[in-house]
Structure 1
């Protein structure tokens, strides 16, 4: 920071005290201090002493730490590789005693010193024992069931020179002449005998079926006409029957639940003071009419004795 020297001037203070001016020697001393400070800064940046090579002190490397305990000893309380052993609480408990790892965990995470490049695992090598085809020698065939008769051996020789005195041509002709003619010969040479049939002189079966169908249709038509005639006669007089008590109570409960549902809708609409639209007015009138009709029906059914008319009249 450059400080520019200035002359100190004395002004009068509010108290009215008078101060004397600073001496000229004080101003000169301040200027000299500032120049000395600048010279020191320049000396730090550019100095001939900086050309002297500095001596580099190499740090002393301490010796490598080696534990006084055996590195082959398992950590205290470890449970690695103790599966199936009686040592349930872990290895090396209580003291740093040497404990050898089992053979199953001795080489865990370590590679052999010199791996063989030709000794890699082939495809299906580990599962060869499970998928290997077991070759069995063929055994003797044993069968206790019924067998066919033995065939003629290839070295058997039939008896040659046997002759028969039968004349097959004459024998066949005699058998054909003496044979009884069959049914086809009779049917071909003789005309059909209709009088010998089982259904001769009887009504054919298809005519009986047609007659039964006609009678069934006629009976259905007569029944339909009779029912229509009875309905027409019953229309002239009232047919009345009492309502079942269970049906009446169930109907009353259903009407009351219906009244509660409609009344809930009506109560939600009643808080409106102004019905400014035609839809609101019609909705309110519809709910009022429905509530009035439900109340009338409930009062009618609660009288106790209800008679139902088949002519859609209410009593």
Structure 2
């Protein structure tokens, strides 16, 4: 009704329209249906309420006996045990007056076995609350290393390294002595070394004062170049100062 009320007014809407009936396809029917219906009626319909018409009456002699439905596993196990006992039979216990067998020997020393000291348990330590334990010897709690024969001695590789260093120092000293005898090198005295060291530090102070005066904002290439130049020069002076402070004897070449 709502659709009809809001339709656009037209003369053609006043003409009644014929109803179109859709023809449905006929329902599928199997050709075996009559055979199935006949088979069902002939086999199931006569006893669908009270069962088959004629049933064989059970004989009074075939009544349900006790334990007839129980499993026979226990009976089979008992029979297997009985058969095993019949096949493997232990020798009888000798009587009190029987003569023991002669010539029987054994390698076991019963005297030693009777007097043997029982094995003592290995000492262990428990290291967790859940009961985990390990041998006390491997736990690091026993001072077993101080009981070694070579405890406290210098290892062999250290002797070898010290000997190599001593030989290298001797070779260097011989080379320096030969060069000094030839007049190719000379060494600075303590006064000269201190004077050079003070001059290096004075130069570093001047470069550092100049470095502190650089602008904080490096916004031009000239400022960046000046900053890099001062840093490189200060680094070289620092290396030279460390060299003169580290070594007391300084050799220089004459040429």
TM over 0.5: no
Higher relative helix content: 2
TM-score, normalised to structure 1's length? 0.22
- Higher normalized contact order (CA 8 Å, seq sep 6+, divided by chain length): 2
Return the TM-score normalized by structure 2: 0.27
Between structure 1 and structure 2, the one with the greater Rg is 1
